[in-house]
Amino acid sequence: MSRPGLVLEVDERTPPILVHEGEGFRLERFPLGTRVIYPPDSLPGLRDVTGRIRDALLHPLGSEPLPELLHSGMRLTIVFDDLSLPLPPMRAPDVRQRVIEQVLEMAASAGVDDVELIAGNALHRRMTPAEIKHIVGERVFDSFWPDKLRNHDAEDPEDLKSLGQTRHGEDVEINRRAAESDLIVYVNINLVAMNGGAKSVAVGLASYKSLRHHHNVHTLRHSRSFNDPPNSAMHHSYDRMHALLSESVRVFHVECTLNNDQFPSPFEFLNKREWEWTLKDQAKFLAAKRANDVAPAGARHRVWQGMRAPYGVTGVTAGATDVVHERTLAAVHRQQLTEVHGQSDVLMLGLPYLCPYNVNSVMNPILVYSLGLGYYFNMYRNKPLVREGGALIMYHPMKSEFHPLHHPSYIDFYEEVLTQTTDPATIETKFEEQYATDPWYVHLYRNSYAYHGVHPFYMWYWGAHARAHLGDVICVGADRRVAARLGFRAASTLADALEMAGETVGRSPSLTYLHTPPMTLADVR
C-alpha cells in the first residue's frame, strides 16, 4: 500500500528540500512554516503488463471487445501519442509499443490488411525515425515505416478532412486517413489529468483551423485549471469536438497510466522525500550535484536529455473514450493528488530541465514560461495554490537559448513579439495569424523538424490564466534580461526573491512549495 500525498510544514528539524532548476538542482532551506506538497508514493507497477493489455482489449469498457470490431476489408488506423509524453521518455519498451503490438496481432488474426499508424503530433514537430522507433518498437517500425507509419501533417490539405462544426461553431478538421477509417484505435499515455480522453483525437490529429477554437487566450483564461477537466473550458471544447467526430468515425481508446518513478537509478533520490534519504542517497546526491555543477554545458545537457524513466505501468484501460478516461483520471489522481487546505500568498516552484516540447531539444525561455505559468501553476483542482494577487517564485536559470531547428518561430516570437508586448490578448490579435500562416514556418513544420509557427503563441496562452491571477512573478537564478523580456523579475537567492515579493504580499506571507517533479496535483480545499 503506497502512502498518500503529504503536506509538510517546515520546522527546525526539516532538512533542506530539493529544488529543480533547469539542468541542475539544489537543496534549499525554506523559511519556517513553509508548506511543502509531496505527491503520494510511487504506486507499484503492474507485474503482467502484457496480460493487462490483453485483458483490457478483450474486456473493454463501454464497447465490444476489440476483436469484434476488426474484420477483413476494413480500414484500421492506430494513432499514438508523440514524444511529448511521457516526461522523461519511458525506458524501452514503451508501453505504447506493447499495446500497438497486441492490437496489430488481433488485426492480423481478423484479416485486416489496411492498417496505418499515425503519430498524434498535431502542431508539434515531426518525430525523427529514431524517436518513432523508440515509441513503437523495432518490430512495428520495420514493418510499417515509412509508408504506413508516419507523423500527422496538420498542413497537408490533401490529408485533412472537415467533419463539420460543433454547436458552438467550432471547426472539426482532422487527419483524413483517420477520419475515413472504419476504426481508430488511439493509444495514449496519461501523464497528467489534462491529457487523454476527448483531447486525444480532437487535438492530436487536428489542424490549426480546428485547434484555434480551444488553444486561445479566452479559453485558457477560463480553464481553471486545465488539469481539472470539469472546470476547464478547453476540455469542454474537446468534448464537443469529440462528440462530433464520433458521429463520423468510431474511436476505440486505450489509455495507460504510469507511476511516479521518473528518474533512473543514479538519480532515484530525486523521487524520494528528503528526510528519508539513506546515506547512499546522500552520497549519490553529492556526487551527482558536484558532477553536474562542474560538467561542461554540452555534456550536462546530454546526460539530462538522455535520461529514460523506469516507469511502472499502473493501469491500462480500453473501450469507449468517456468511460475509459473516467477510469484513467481516477488512476492519475491516485498517483498524483494531494489534498491541500487553503491558498497561500506565495507559491514556489522548481522548474526542471524538461517540458513536453523540448524532448531531445533545448528549453528556451518561452518554454520555461509555459512550464511555470502554464503546466505547473495549473497543477491544481478547485482553486490555485496561490491566492489571487499573490506571488510566484520560480527557480530556473532561464537562459536565452533556442534550438534553431526545432523552435524557429520561437526565436522570432522572442525577438519580435515579446519586445513589443507580453499581453496574451494583444499578442493573439496582432501576431497569431501572421505566424500561423507564415509559409516558411509551414515549410519547416512539414519538411524539417520544427514546431508549427503558431506553437509559441500557444505556450504564451498557456500562462494566460496565471498572468491574470498573479500579482508578481520572480525567478531565482534567472538571467535578468531574459526574465525582464518575459515580464518577470529576477532574484539571486530565495531571500532576495521573498524580499522582492514583500512589495506584493507583505512581509510575513504564507508560503507553499510544490515539490515536483515527480508529478503532484494539488487538490486545494
Give the whole-angstrom CA distance, residue 280 versus residue 276. Answer: 11
CB of residue 412 to other proteins, shortest distance in Å: 5
CB of residue 155 to other proteins, shortest distance in Å: 15
Residue placing its CB nearer to other proteins in the complex, 186 or 414: 414
For residue 41, the 8-state DSSP code is P
User: Which range, of 37-45, 63-71, 110-118, 435-443, touches other proteins by CB under 8 A?
Assistant: 435-443
Residue placing its CB nearer to other proteins in the complex, 129 or 404: 404
Among the listed residues 447, 404, 357, the one whose alpha carbon sits nearest the alpha carbon of residue 155: 447
Q: Is 439 in the site for other proteins (CB under 8 A)?
A: yes
Q: Which helix (H) or strand (E) holds 165?
A: strand 160-165
CB 44 within 8 A of CB 2: yes
Give the whole-angstrom CA distance, residue 111 versus residue 113. Answer: 6
CB of residue 473 to other proteins, shortest distance in Å: 25
CB of residue 358 to other proteins, shortest distance in Å: 20
Residue placing its CB nearer to other proteins in the complex, 81 or 412: 412
CB of residue 486 to other proteins, shortest distance in Å: 17
CB 307 within 8 A of CB 263: yes
CB of residue 404 to other proteins, shortest distance in Å: 7
Q: Which residue of 411, 425, 484, 500 would you call a contact of other proteins, by CB under 8 A? A: 411
CB 201 within 8 A of CB 325: no
Residue placing its CB nearer to other proteins in the complex, 265 or 419: 419
CB of residue 150 to other proteins, shortest distance in Å: 24
> Count of residues binding other proteins (CB under 8 A)?
11
* Span 5-44, contacts to other proteins by CB under 8 A: none
Give the whole-angstrom CA distance, residue 245 versus residue 170. Answer: 12
CB of residue 485 to other proteins, shortest distance in Å: 13
Q: Which residue of 438, 460, 478, 518 would you call a contact of other proteins, by CB under 8 A? A: 438
Residue placing its CB nearer to other proteins in the complex, 235 or 407: 407
Q: Which residue of 68, 415, 499, 503 would you call a contact of other proteins, by CB under 8 A? A: 415
Q: What is the greatest pairwise CA distance in the chain?
A: 71
Q: Is 443 in the site for other proteins (CB under 8 A)?
A: yes
Angle CA 519–331–139, to nearest 5: 85
User: Which range, of 39-47, 58-66, 265-273, 405-413, touches other proteins by CB under 8 A?
Assistant: 405-413
* Span 221-250, contacts to other proteins by CB under 8 A: none
**Which three-class secondary structure state does DSSP give residue 188?**
strand
Question: Under 8 Å CB-to-CB from 423, ≥6 apart: which residues?
Answer: none
Give the whole-angstrom CA distance, residue 260 versus residue 42. Answer: 5
CB of residue 452 to other proteins, shortest distance in Å: 15
CB 487 within 8 A of CB 463: no
Q: Is 142 in the site for other proteins (CB under 8 A)?
A: no
CB of residue 367 to other proteins, shortest distance in Å: 18
- Taking the CB of residue 212, how many other CB atoms lie within 10 A of it? 20
Q: Which helix (H) or strand (E) holds 455?
A: helix 455-462
Residue placing its CB nearer to other proteins in the complex, 125 or 133: 125
Sequence-separated contacts (24+) of 480-483 with Cβ below 8 Å: 481/400, 482/365, 482/398, 482/399, 482/400, 483/398
User: Which range, of 313-321, 433-441, 454-462, 515-523, touches other proteins by CB under 8 A?
Assistant: 433-441
Q: Is 416 in the site for other proteins (CB under 8 A)?
A: yes
Residue placing its CB nearer to other proteins in the complex, 180 or 415: 415
Give the whole-angstrom CA distance, residue 163 versus residue 277. Answer: 54
Residue placing its CB nearer to other proteins in the complex, 275 or 440: 440
Q: Is 412 in the site for other proteins (CB under 8 A)?
A: yes
- Length of the chain equals 525
Among the listed residues 366, 379, 308, 315, the one whose alpha carbon sits nearest the alpha carbon of residue 482: 366
**Which three-class secondary structure state does DSSP give residue 170?**
coil
Q: Is 275 in the site for other proteins (CB under 8 A)?
A: no
Binding positions for other proteins, rule: CB under 8 A: 404, 408, 411-412, 415-416, 434, 438-440, 443
